[in-house]
């Protein structure tokens, strides 16, 4: 029964029956492909076509109070975030759209408007796709992007003593999702993290072009899982500092007032659509300077280690292991 197995186990089943062809630079059957969320096809002259697909369903991915416009927008953002993690410039998107028979025309209009608005926001467009009747609203997108072999960002590039950094503010989406699912009163300013996510596309493309990063990954399934994926791909460990996690005071106050374990939610739920970078120490000042110029928040949260352990130093100074757990659509509820 699929209710008893997780996403990674399902991917491994399909991986057994996949193989690479010579023109595939990165695929599920390539050595580090299992750790990546995209495929990469060689185009010649060191250029790579990046291919990404991501699917959301109303019943499984959409929290209460998310509008159809926001759902359409999110369907684009989830794909753009994985292009951002590779430093790839978008070429276009195609969507397979499944719609139930009882959906209203106005709701379809809202989905389409959300998708079109988001595509424009990331300087790309929707070029086509397919529609069909389904039991739920299903938006399955495929994003196409382009980069080069010397610019592509992979999870396998981290080196010992590299700085571990995270973009933006984290924890807000997990808090917002928890509040919506458990019908807790929450400020609208906090709901924006879950209802209106943003992909760090332009910023990541800029850093990739400057060759300032050693690895990158999207933390939409949780910071903990992303730390483990990068560790596995790079054969390294990581130690982060709880006190350095970029969590806004409003988020901390809400968690405290409602008796929530903010660190657990931040590490293991995700939905932030921020990025985890590793950065050579000698390039950190240049990264900070570039991020300041783009008005882009980036925070040093720890270091890459040699021992393959994924750990966190708590505010009390205790070193604790970080579980290999992210939000799994097949298994988890929060």
Q: Is the pLDDT of residue 332 over 70?
A: no
pLDDT category of residue 28 using cuts at 50, 70 and 90: confident
- Neighbouring CB atoms inside 10 A of 315's CB total 10
Least confident of 21-30, 68-77, 294-303: 21-30
Q: What is the 3-state composition of the chain as percent helix, strand, coil, each rounded to the nearest 5?
A: 40, 25, 35
The helix or strand, by DSSP H or E, that contains position 321, with its residue range, turns out to be strand 319-321
pLDDT category of residue 61 using cuts at 50, 70 and 90: confident
Quick one: CA dihedral 196, 82, 265, 242, positive or negative? negative
Q: What are the residue boundaries of the structural domains of the chain, listed by start?
A: 2-148, 155-321
Name the architecture of domain 155-321: Alpha-Beta Complex (3.90)
Quick one: CA dihedral 297, 141, 173, 152, positive or negative? negative
pTM over 0.85: yes
Q: Which residue has the higher pLDDT, 216 or 33?
A: 216
* Paired tokens of 237: 């460990």
* Paired tokens of 263: 């660190």
Outline where 85-217 has alpha helix (H).
Answer: 105-121, 172-181, 188-195, 201-209
Q: Return the pLDDT at 331.
A: 47
Q: Is the pLDDT of residue 248 over 70?
A: yes
**β-sheet with 237-241: strand ranges across:** 215-218, 275-279, 163-167, 298-305, 237-241, 310-313, 319-321
Least confident of 10-14, 158-162, 181-185, 271-275: 10-14
Q: Which residue has the higher pLDDT, 330 or 177?
A: 177
Question: Are the C-beta atoms of residues 307 and 234 closer than 8 Å to each other?
Answer: no
Q: Return the pLDDT at 333.
A: 53
The mean pLDDT value for 36-61 works out to: 95
Give pLDDT tens digits for 159-215. Answer: 999 999 999 999 999 999 999 999 999 999 999 999 999 999 999 999 999 999 999
Q: Which residue has the higher pLDDT, 173 or 16?
A: 173
DSSP letter at 98 equals E
**What CATH number should be reported for the domain whose range is 2-148?**
3.30.1330.10
């Amino acid at each position: 029964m699929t209710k008893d197995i997780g996403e990674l186990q399902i991917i491994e089943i399909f991986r057994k029956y996949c193989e690479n062809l010579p023109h595939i630079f990165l695929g599920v059957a390539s050595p580090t492909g299992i750790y990546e969320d995209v495929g990469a096809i060689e185009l010649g002259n060191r250029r790579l076509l990046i291919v990404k697909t991501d699917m959301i369903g109303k019943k499984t991915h959409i929290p209460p109070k998310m509008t159809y416009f926001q759902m359409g927008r999110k369907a684009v953002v989830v794909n753009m975030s994985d292009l951002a993690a590779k430093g790839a410039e978008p070429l276009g998107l195609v969507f397979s759209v499944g719609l139930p028979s009882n959906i209203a025309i106005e709701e379809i209009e809202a989905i389409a408007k959300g998708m079109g608005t988001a595509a424009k926001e990331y300087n790309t467009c929707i070029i086509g796709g397919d529609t069909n009747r389904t039991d739920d609203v299903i938006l399955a997108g495929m994003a196409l992007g382009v980069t080069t072999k010397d610019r592509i960002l992979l999870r396998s590039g981290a080196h010992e003593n590299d700085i571990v950094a995270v973009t933006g503010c984290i924890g807000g989406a997990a808090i917002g999702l928890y509040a919506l699912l458990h019908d807790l009163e929450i400020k609208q300013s906090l709901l924006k993290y879950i209802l209106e996510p943003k992909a760090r596309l332009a910023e990541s493309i800029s850093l990739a072009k400057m060759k300032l990063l050693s690895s990158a990954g999207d933390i939409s399934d949780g910071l903990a899982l992303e730390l483990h994926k990068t560790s596995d791909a790079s054969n390294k460990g990581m130690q982060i500092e709880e006190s350095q996690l970029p969590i806004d005071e409003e988020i901390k106050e809400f968690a405290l007032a409602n008796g929530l374990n903010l660190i657990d939610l931040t590490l293991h739920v995700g939905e932030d659509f921020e990025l985890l970078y590793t950065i050579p120490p000698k390039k950190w000042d240049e990264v900070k300077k570039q991020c300041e110029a783009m008005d882009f928040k980036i925070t040093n949260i720890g270091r890459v280690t040699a021992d393959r352990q994924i750990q966190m130093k708590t505010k009390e100074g205790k070193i604790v292991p970080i579980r290999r757990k992210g939000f799994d659509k097949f298994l988890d509820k929060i």
